[in-house]
Amino acid sequence: MQSYVFAKPERIWSKLAVENILRSHVLASIATGFARSEHGLREFFCKAFCANQYGVEMIEPLVGKALLFLHREKMVELGRSLTATSFGRRVSEMYIDPVSAVIIRDCLQRGADIVTELSFLHMVCHTPDVFPKTYPREREMDALTTFANLHSSEFMVPVPDEFEDVEYSAFLGEVKGALILGAWIEETSEDDIIERFSFEPGDLFRLTESVDWLLYATFELGKLFDHQDLLPKILRLRERVDKGVSEELLPLVRLNGVGRVRGRLLFNAGFRSAEDLRSTSVGQLLNVPTIGPQLAKRIKEQVGGRLKAEEWAKLKEGGEWKQKSISDF
């Protein structure tokens, strides 16, 4: 009570003057039609709390710098009125940093000698929007450098000079992030990821969430800039990041109630597709660990299989079907 109810309020500090935040708000103001001229744009931001706190003379140059960046990267057109291009509008709608959008656009245009999942995963790890950032530990440097050298043809981002300490270290941190994501989509367990990369489950959850959104943005920008050949790869990779599975499990984990663990158990039991699940009996489904009567019924319904009334009655009563445990499996 003393600390939170009766105490004096803490001081509030505006974060609007942070460059990446201001860029996004300048673009949003133009894309939504709220600001239609440079004068109107500057006037609006000069009335913000940030200008009141730090002074108009600080915010005006930052707004001008952000506007020049957006114009240079073809997100905004300058003239008698300010208008957003189709690129600028789409970036604003997706709520990503314009710098992230420029990186994605340029990488898709540049491509790589060999385009793989690593190409896209490293690209999104290179953007300022990915969170949390990953950093190489001293003991990981040699292994990451070796990996980067072996896979140099797969990077869409220019690889910095190994002897440029700051840039190259940041690059290796991005490679580490891509490796963590690569382990996740190859069904590596969370315990193994923790042990191998010293990366906690909460951080993994936040990383996959931010990468999922950035891959969605990549797909949308790929459509906008007509990279039709890359769209199926991006779409599949996004689904794999969301589910944490190999490509072979995608038909199974699309079913409600089937995640990466159940999907792998079903696959190992011989169920590779919706057709396999449709044609099998409920009894065979119940032989798979973690598949109980309710879930078996739900799976059959989703794949278009029919469950006879007597089968469902037998399931509800316990009948002769008994679910196996993982140890039995």
Closest CA to 240 of 183, 194, 303, 171: 183
Rounded Cα gap, residues 112 and 135, in angstroms:
24
- Among 65, 71, 64, 113, smallest CA distance to 88 is for 71
67 and 38 Cβ atoms separated by less than 8 Å: yes
Q: pLDDT (tens digit, 9 = 90+) per residue, 225-278? A: 999 999 999 999 999 999 999 999 999 999 999 999 999 999 999 999 989 998
Tell me the three-class secondary structure of 48-107, residue by residue. Answer: CHHHHHHCHHHHHHHHHHHHHHHHHCCCEECCCCCEECHHHHHHHHCCCCHHHHHHHHHH
Q: What's the mean per-residue pLDDT of the chain? A: 90
Structural domains in the chain, sorted by start: 19-93 (1.10.10.10), 98-243 (1.10.3380.20), 253-317 (1.10.150.20)
At 192-234, the pLDDT tens digits run 999 999 998 899 999 999 999 999 999 999 999 999 999 999 9
Q: Which residues pair with 83 in a beta bridge?
A: 77
pLDDT in the model for residue 329: 46
Angstrom distance (rounded) from CA 309 to CA 175: 54
CB 300 within 8 A of CB 282: yes
Confidence check: pLDDT of 174 > 90: yes
Block residue for tokens 């990267």: 73
